[in-house]
């Protein structure tokens, strides 16, 4: 479970990224974060993975109070979270297999198990035939699928995706969403997006942000900013 309670984040120069935001996301829930650029979507994702610390309020992830400055289990927290970045963060000098395997290597997974699990997840995202290919030879959609494979690999319970379809054409966007749909109910998804088609079509829970404030939380919502 992810819980935000009266969370605010103000940057050192005084600009507020989030103001008094509270919500709860249950295990295995599928949630969209929507809002204009600068509304605070990425800030929420960074706070969940403790890439940032809130100025005020409490954040609980898997029963861990991660907002505290004395929180020391950042590695444990991040091992339960898979992240899909808008810019993919795929390492250019490593092939597809190696890019996905790193997710398991950091967990100390044995080599044989890594081979098996990476191939399973590459099959899931439709890249099994490209495991030895280097990123420079892949399309944007394929790169995003590599990033998704890396995020979902290793039994990570929470998947955070920051504009996962931001640079992709409509067909590839739907291919990516199909992958997420395959895993729905098995993991918690928090997806920050601008894509109104997807949000309106999937009818999932939507958290609407405006100027750093949570203005709407609808269970089967649409893209309404």
User: Contact letters (x/-) for other proteins, 64-93, by CB under 8 A?
Assistant: ----------xxxxxxxx-x-----x-x-x
User: Contact letters (x/-) for other proteins, 149-168, by CB under 8 A?
Assistant: -x------------------
Burial of residue 225, with CB atoms counted within 10 A of its CB: 0-12 exposed, 13-18 middle, 19 or more buried:
middle
User: Contact letters (x/-) for other proteins, 125-154, by CB under 8 A?
Assistant: -------------------------x----
d(CA 223, CA 141): 23
CB of 72 to other proteins, least distance (A): 12
Residue from 19, 43, 103, 195 binding other proteins (CB under 8 A): 103
Stretch of 103-111, 120-128, 137-145, 166-174 contacting other proteins, by CB under 8 A: 103-111
Total residues belonging to the chain? 225
Q: Does 107 bind other proteins (CB under 8 A)?
A: yes
d(CA 10, CA 53): 10
d(CA 2, CA 126): 30
CB of 181 to other proteins, least distance (A): 24
- Best CA proximity match to 7, nearest among 60, 56, 47: 56
CB-nearer residue toward other proteins: 155 or 217:
155
CB-nearer residue toward other proteins: 83 or 190:
83
Backbone angles phi, psi at 102, to 5 degrees: -55, -30
CB of 77 to other proteins, least distance (A): 7
- Best CA proximity match to 127, nearest among 108, 99, 104: 99
Helix/strand/coil percentages in the chain, nearest 5: 35, 25, 40
Interface residues with other proteins (CB under 8 A)? 49, 51, 74-81, 83, 89, 91, 93, 102-103, 105-107, 150
């Amino acid at each position: 479970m992810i819980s935000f309670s009266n969370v605010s984040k103000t940057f050192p120069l005084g600009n507020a990224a989030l103001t008094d935001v509270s919500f709860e996301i249950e295990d295995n829930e599928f949630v969209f974060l929507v809002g204009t650029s600068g509304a605070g979507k990425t800030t929420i994702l960074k706070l969940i993975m403790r890439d940032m610390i809130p100025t005020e309020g409490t954040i609980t992830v898997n029963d861990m109070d991660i907002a505290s400055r004395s929180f020391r289990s950042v590695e444990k927290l991040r091992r339960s979270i898979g992240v899909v970045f808008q810019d993919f963060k795929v390492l250019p000098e490593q092939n597809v297999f190696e890019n996905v395997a790193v997710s398991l290597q950091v967990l100390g997974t044995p080599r044989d198990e890594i081979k098996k699990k990476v191939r399973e997840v590459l099959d899931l995202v439709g890249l099994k035939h490209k495991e030895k290919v280097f990123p420079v030879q892949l399309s944007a959609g394929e790169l995003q699928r590599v990033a998704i494979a890396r995020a979902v690999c290793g039994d990570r319970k929470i998947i955070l995706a920051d504009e996962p379809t931001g640079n992709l054409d409509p067909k590839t966007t739907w291919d990516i969403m199909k992958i997420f749909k395959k895993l729905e109910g098995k993991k918690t998804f928090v997806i920050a997006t601008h894509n109104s088609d997807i949000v309106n079509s999937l009818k999932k829970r939507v958290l609407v942000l405006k100027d750093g404030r949570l203005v709407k939380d609808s269970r089967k919502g649409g893209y309404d900013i």
